[in-house]
Structure 1
Amino acid sequence: MKAEINQYYNEIAENYDSSRFSNSYGKYINNQENRILKKYLDQEDVSLNLDVACGTGRFLKYADHGVDISSEMIRISKNRFPSKDIIIGDAEELPYKNEHFENVISFHLFMHLDLTTTEKILSEVGRVTKKEGFFIFDIPSLKRRKISGYQSKSWHGGNQIQVEKLKKITSKDWNMECFYGIAFFPIHRIPKKIRKFFILIDNFLCESFLKEYSSHLIFVLRRK
């Protein structure tokens, strides 16, 4: 599966940002992800922050270090951020010393993996993160997928989780600070004239007791 993921992202790297984040849905998701990251990370001090699966560098304003399995994604992110330390690497075997980073982020990675690989990466990130440091990442919601009946036909977007399950598998190394929902409604399908009103409602529901039924969940863990 790792080879398939690598090949897939090498092939789409050149047009990844324009195809995924230039449309209305992609812009909304990007804005929501940035909104949450800004709550926890100081953009003025990112020297010891790491972005795992950094891709084209969409979130490298929050980190001076990036790692990705795709050489083409790395090429693009290096061109965008020549002063940052961006390398090819495997999230299951991060090439960094113990407790090296203040904070770690990772977006649109775990959705493609199985639970065993997810647990390995969570443990590996825990190894390289300093005490009290944050790990902020996203995974599709299992509860939402059960209700909607969604089933991925391949590894792409095939992983999902419940909050209680994530708490259980991370309890050794991490405390769960909180989690947020992303995209309670299919915002991209709502007419533009009324979309802004639904975004306000969407934001409210994604931080309410119903948030686990959002499409994606963003978790904020703190290293023990």
Structure 2
Amino acid sequence: MQSIHDYYDKLAQDYDSKRFGNSYGRYLDRQERDILSAWLAAVPPEAAIDLGCGTGRLLDFAMTGADASAEMLKVAAAKFPDRRLIQASLPDLGVAGDSRYRAATCFHVFMHLDKTVIEQSLRAVAGIVAAGGIFILDIPSQHRRALNWRKPSGWHGGTAATRADIAAWAGPAWRIVGRRGILFFPIHRLPAFARPLLRRLDALIGRSPLGRYASYHVYQLERQA
């Protein structure tokens, strides 16, 4: 089976254009940025690390980035030459674990990991985030996935979760303090012109009880003393 590292190494050069250069990718990127802007408003980039930073799409919010793919990091370095970039793979943070941060972020990673590795990763991140700091992560919604007849296979996007799952995996080191749903609407099935028109409504639904049925959930965890 193709490894996660090999998969992203091969995608690196075209990743930004193919994944986020179209209307679907821009829709997702804007939703994620809006959440990060709100939840990281009090955290300067110097105090944050982006785990699974890839090509650096979200390094506006962090001065340190870590990723398992050397090729993705090469692209990130060209875009952000002033960032500290580290090759490391959850849950083994390597030298990325030498510092303490007020915030850590991790997008489009946990969905590729099995539950045991997720638990190990949450413990590892707890070791680099100071008490009272936050960890922001995303994962597919198990509530939404239960409504879909097509099930994932293999590691790619294979793991979904409920709020109860996240709380159990996080253990005593973390407390859930926020959750937002994103991609409530099946944007990939709608014409491109309609996508921007639905983004604000999508964000509102993501804050409501219906947000549990959005495609992805973004969690804000607080590091406990």
Change (3 A) 1:103 1:192: same
Distance change in 2, residues 1:41/1:53 (3 Å): same
Other structure's SS at 1:210 match: helix
Q: Is the 8 A contact 2:118 2:169 kept in 1?
A: no
- Conservation of the 8 A alpha-carbon contact between 1:70 and 1:88: yes
Distance in 2, matches of 1:78 and 1:71, equals: 10
Alignment root-mean-square deviation, CA: 1.8
5 Å matches for 1:125-204?
Answer: 125-204=125-204
Partner of 1:16: 15
- d(CA) in 2 for partners of 1:31, 1:61: 13
Deviation at 1:129, TM superposition (A): 0.4
1:181-215 Cα deviation digits (max 9, x unpaired): 01011123323454444333322221111111110
* Residue correspondences, number: 223
Give matches, 1:32-181, under 5 Å.
32-42=31-41, 45-95=44-94, 96-97=96-97, 100-181=100-181
Aligned partner of residue 143 in structure 1, secondary structure: helix
Q: Which runs of 5+ in 1 are unaligned?
A: none
Offset, 1:94: 1.2
* TM-score w.r.t. length of structure 2: 0.93
Listed as ranges, the gaps of 5+ residues in structure 2 are none
| Percent sequence identity over aligned pairs | 35
TM score, norm. by length of structure 1 = 0.93
Three-state SS of the structure 1 residue aligned to 2:130 is coil
Task: Indicate conservation of the 8 Å contact 2:43/2:103, yes or no.
Answer: no
Equivalents in 2 of 1:135, 1:128: separation in Å? Answer: 10
Distance 1:145 1:48 in 2: 35
